[in-house]
């Protein structure tokens, strides 16, 4: 299986990832090779098998939600400290709305 | 620090004895450990950065407790290295990525809090594959790590810096993270002990997420006792991580008595088929030593093994594509400088910031989750994951532990496998099955090849049987003439 460059560009669009033309060409081959290996799973009939989304133990487990008690958050100053661009209370991004 | 202990081979027990006997203070040890690690680091690039202020503050707290005669905690004064995907408040945390090159973590991971509460002294943060994606630590944006055992070879990955620091003697123990083998494989390549505990055994709060249904934090150490002790410190329920387990944490060092008579060992035939190599010979010699200690060895079958790589790389890339969506230039330090629109800013930031392997996995993960492919890939992989987990639960009805190699080969040369992503993925075969099942597994040194390269033996056991796993690993370590 080989992906077309058009398919690679579509997936890169979905992933919000800018790729160079050279990267697109290389990905088409590399992704295709890995996807071909993944198709091996189709040898198995799994119609009666439940999907395993999370590790389940045979051990006894109880409710996994913690009690709903108030805890202090990081605060905006700390949360914004590593932002590339911020004001006192907000992250700043390029303008998205024209006035 | 006065004579009596070589810093390269220091153990937790020796630190404890040295402090108790007044041979050195925690601050003296921390200073000497930092001096040694900083001087040695250029050989391997194991550490990305050091945090001397934090280390000395932690050491001073230990010395104050010592002076007051208080309980010091099980890790008192022990120099620790922490993989740079684990958050350390006020200290740079990069995940080996250009995107986070200047990121200062705003809070501590729970594992970090616990190890400092136990008296541990964090010296610095260790190099790793970018966002923990890789098997050689060559995917770090800050240059590869060299294996201290053979400097022209990789230390394994993704916790290559943690494995190398423990092997090099620049940390007594280290924290790593493991999604598909990222603790066990570097432990094997560097000749140290590495443990992936039961899924949920250690809180992941403050671990930079790669694949959330598979991510673990675990210890690396120079012997089984130290790994067991460190796991005991960081394990246990944490309200900040809803996936952390409630099961009580036993004293993992209690059963390290060398008595493994009657232990039932399974050797999966699928793993040993065609393993005609030095690695295979060393593993079988290790099994033979355990047999002589009274273990019962039998062949077992894990029939779905050959489907594990496909299932693993679908699940981990799908989860990674989702987890890495947050690095968009808004919150985390790096933003592409010249982007007129919001959409361009996202795309350019990610295109410039992520390295080749991260891009590959984001693309694969996005593809397998995209409209029309979700059922065929992601859901299918989750069903196959269930079959692989069932293989193990069936096996553990017959045996207590399963022994396998960690890697098909010992440490390879830098650059040797970098151009073939599929081959690199296929080399993870022995470690990813246990990750998919969420069972505890570890690598314990099992001899060296003729060229002097370490080979690790993998021990896998049922959920929450870490104590049994450590007992066997300790017996193997003793049988090799170590104690």
Report the b/e string of B198-220 with b at 16+ CB within 10 A. Answer: bbbbbbbbbbbbbbbbbbbbbbb
- State the helix-helix crossing angle for B356-369 and A21-38, rounded to 10 degrees: 60
How far is Cα B444 from Cα B195, in angstroms, rounded to an integer?
9
- Among chain B residues, CA nearest to A9: B363
Specify the pLDDT at position A64.
61
Residues from chain A contacting residue B242 (CB–CB below 8 Å): 64-66
What are the extents of the domains in chain B? 7-234
Of residues A69 and B172, which shows the higher confidence score? B172
Which pLDDT band, with edges at 50, 70 and 90, does A1 fall under? confident
Question: pLDDT per residue over B474-483, tens digit each?
Answer: 999 999 864 3
Question: pLDDT per residue over A76-97, tens digit each?
Answer: 999 999 999 999 899 999 988 7
Q: Using CB atoms, pick whichever of B325, B347, B386 lies closest to residue A49.
A: B386
A:13-52 residues touching chain B, CB 8 A cutoff: 14-20, 23, 27, 30-31, 33-35, 37-44, 46, 49-52
Is the pLDDT reported for residue A60 higher than 90? no
Question: pLDDT per residue over B357-399, tens digit each?
Answer: 999 999 999 999 998 999 999 999 999 999 999 999 999 999 9
Are the C-beta atoms of residues B464 and B200 closer than 8 Å to each other? Answer: no
CB contact under 8 A, A59 and B384: no
How far is Cα B265 from Cα B295, in angstroms, rounded to an integer?
7
Is the pLDDT reported for residue B2 higher than 70? no
Residues from chain A contacting residue B246 (CB–CB below 8 Å): 61-62
What are the extents of the domains in chain A? 5-43
Q: Using CB atoms, pick whichever of B246, B310, B386 lies closest to residue A40.
A: B310
CB contact under 8 A, B102 and A35: no
Question: pLDDT per residue over B15-47, tens digit each?
Answer: 999 999 999 999 999 999 999 999 999 999 999
CB contact under 8 A, B383 and A55: no
Inter-CA distances, B71 with B16, B266, B323, Å: 12, 42, 41
% of chain B residues with pLDDT over 70: 98
Which pLDDT band, with edges at 50, 70 and 90, does B324 fall under? very high
| Phi, psi dihedrals of residue B50, rounded to the nearest 5° | -110, 155
Question: pLDDT per residue over B405-462, tens digit each?
Answer: 999 999 999 999 888 888 888 889 999 999 999 999 999 999 999 999 999 999 999 9
Sheet containing B79-83, strands listed edge to edge, beginning at the edge strand earlier in sequence: B47-50, B121-126, B79-83, B173-178, B216-221, B193-196, B441-448, B454-461, B401-405, B264-268, B296-300
Helix, strand, coil percentages, rounded to 5, for chain A: 40, 0, 60
Per CATH, the number for B7-234 is 3.90.1300.10
Per CATH, the number for A5-43 is 1.10.20
Is the pLDDT reported for residue B261 higher than 90? yes
3-state secondary structure of B300: strand
Is the pLDDT reported for residue B275 higher than 50? yes
% of chain A residues with pLDDT over 70: 90
Q: Using CB atoms, pick whichever of B107, B313, B383 lies closest to residue A38.
A: B313
Q: Which residues contact B333 (CB under 8 A, 6 or more apart)?
A: A82, A83, A84, B99, B100, B101, B102, B103
Burial grade of B257 (CB within 10 A; 0-12, 13-18, 19 or more): exposed
Mean pLDDT, range B279-290, rounded to an integer: 96
Phi-psi region of B76 (alpha: psi -120 to 50; beta: other; left: phi over 0): beta
Burial grade of B56 (CB within 10 A; 0-12, 13-18, 19 or more): middle
Are the C-beta atoms of residues B193 and B38 closer than 8 Å to each other? Answer: no
Specify the pLDDT at position A68.
85
Are the C-beta atoms of residues B128 and B84 closer than 8 Å to each other? Answer: yes
Specify the pLDDT at position B1.
54
Q: Does B207 touch chain A (CB under 8 A)?
A: no
Specify the pLDDT at position B3.
44
**Average pLDDT of chain B, as a whole number:** 95
Burial grade of B325 (CB within 10 A; 0-12, 13-18, 19 or more): middle
CB–CB contacts below 8 A, A to B? 175
Residues from chain B contacting residue A52 (CB–CB below 8 Å): 382-383, 385-386, 389
- Among chain A residues, CA nearest to B107: A74
DSSP notation for B312-356: HHHHHHHHHHHHGGG-SSSSSS---S--SSHHHHHHHHHHHHS-H
- Among chain B residues, CA nearest to A17: B347
Question: pLDDT per residue over B122-169, tens digit each?
Answer: 999 999 999 999 999 999 999 999 999 999 999 999 999 999 999 999
Are the C-beta atoms of residues B77 and B17 closer than 8 Å to each other? Answer: no
Q: Which residues of B are catalytic?
A: 83, 158, 182
Mean pLDDT, range B233-239, rounded to an integer: 95
Which pLDDT band, with edges at 50, 70 and 90, does B186 fall under? very high
Both tokens assigned to B93: 């945390």
Specify the pLDDT at position B482.
45
Is the pLDDT reported for residue A57 higher than 90? no
Residues from chain A contacting residue B421 (CB–CB below 8 Å): 30, 33-34
Return the H-helix or E-strand segment holding B472.
helix B466-479
Angle B463-B82-B46 (CA atoms, 0-180°, nearest 5)?
A: 115
Mean pLDDT, range B230-253, rounded to an integer: 94
Residues from chain B contacting residue A27 (CB–CB below 8 Å): 359-360, 363
Specify the pLDDT at position A59.
55
């Amino acid at each position: 299986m080989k992906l077309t460059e058009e398919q690679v560009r579509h997936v890169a669009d979905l992933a919000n990832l800018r790729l160079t033309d050279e990267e697109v060409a290389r990905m088409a081959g590399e992704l295709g090779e890995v996807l071909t290996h993944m198709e091996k799973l189709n040898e198995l009939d799994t119609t009666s098998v439940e999907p395993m989304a999370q590790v389940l133990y045979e051990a006894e487990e109880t409710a996994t939600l913690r009690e709903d008690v108030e805890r202090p958050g990081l605060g905006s100053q700390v949360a914004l400290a590593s932002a590339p661009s911020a004001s006192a209370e907000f992250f700043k991004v390029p303008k998205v709305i024209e006035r | 620090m006065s004579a009596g202990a070589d810093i390269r081979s220091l153990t937790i027990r020796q630190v404890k004895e040295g402090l108790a006997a007044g041979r050195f203070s925690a601050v003296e040890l921390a200073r000497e450990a930092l001096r040694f690690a900083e001087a040695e680091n250029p050989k391997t690039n194991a550490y990305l950065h050091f945090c001397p202020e934090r280390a000395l503050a932690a050491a001073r707290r230990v010395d104050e407790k010592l002076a007051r005669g208080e309980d010091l905690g099980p890790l008192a004064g022990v120099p620790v290295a922490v993989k740079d995907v684990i958050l350390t408040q006020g200290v740079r945390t990069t995940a080996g990525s250009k995107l986070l090159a200047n990121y200062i973590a705003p809070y501590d991971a729970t594992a970090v809090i616990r190890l400092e509460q136990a008296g541990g002294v964090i010296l610095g943060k260790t190099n790793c594959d970018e966002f923990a994606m890789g098997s050689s630590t060559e995917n770090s944006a800050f240059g590869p790590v060299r294996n201290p055992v053979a400097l022209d070879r990789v230390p394994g990955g993704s916790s290559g810096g943690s494995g190398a620091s423990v092997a090099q003697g620049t940390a007594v123990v280290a924290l790593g993270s493991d999604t598909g083998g990222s603790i066990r494989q570097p432990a094997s390549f560097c000749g140290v002990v590495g443990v992936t505990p039961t899924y949920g055994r250690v809180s992941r709060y403050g671990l930079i997420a790669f694949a959330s249904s598979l991510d673990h934090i675990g210890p690396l150490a120079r012997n089984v006792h130290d790994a067991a002790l460190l796991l005991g410190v960081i394990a246990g329920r944490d309200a900040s991580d809803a996936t952390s387990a409630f099961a009580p944490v036993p004293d993992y060092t209690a059963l390290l008595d060398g008595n493994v008579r009657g232990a039932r060992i399974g050797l999966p035939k699928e793993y040993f088929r065609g393993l005609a190599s030095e690695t295979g010979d060393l593993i079988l010699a290790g099994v033979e030593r355990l047999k002589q200690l009274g273990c019962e060895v039998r062949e077992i079958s894990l029939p779905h093994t050959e489907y594990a790589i496909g299932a693993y790389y679908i699940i981990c890339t799908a989860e990674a594509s989702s987890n890495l969506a947050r690095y968009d230039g808004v919150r985390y330090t790096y933003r592409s400088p010249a982007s007129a629109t919001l959409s361009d800013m996202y795309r350019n930031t990610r295109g410039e910031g992520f390295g080749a392997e991260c891009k590959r996995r984001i693309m694969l993960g996005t593809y397998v989750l995209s409209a029309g492919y979700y059922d065929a890939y992601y859901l299918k992989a989750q069903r196959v994951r269930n079959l692989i987990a069932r293989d193990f639960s069936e096996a553990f009805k017959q045996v207590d532990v399963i022994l396998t190699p960690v890697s098909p080969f010992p440490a390879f040369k830098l650059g040797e496998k970098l151009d073939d992503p599929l081959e690199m993925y296929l080399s993870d075969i022995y470690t990813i099955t246990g990750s998919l099942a969420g069972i505890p597994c570890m690598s314990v040194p099992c001899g060296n090849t003729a060229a002097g390269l370490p080979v690790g033996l993998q021990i896998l056991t049922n959920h929450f049987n870490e104590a049994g796993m450590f007992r066997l690993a300790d017996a193997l370590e003793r049988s090799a003439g170590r104690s």
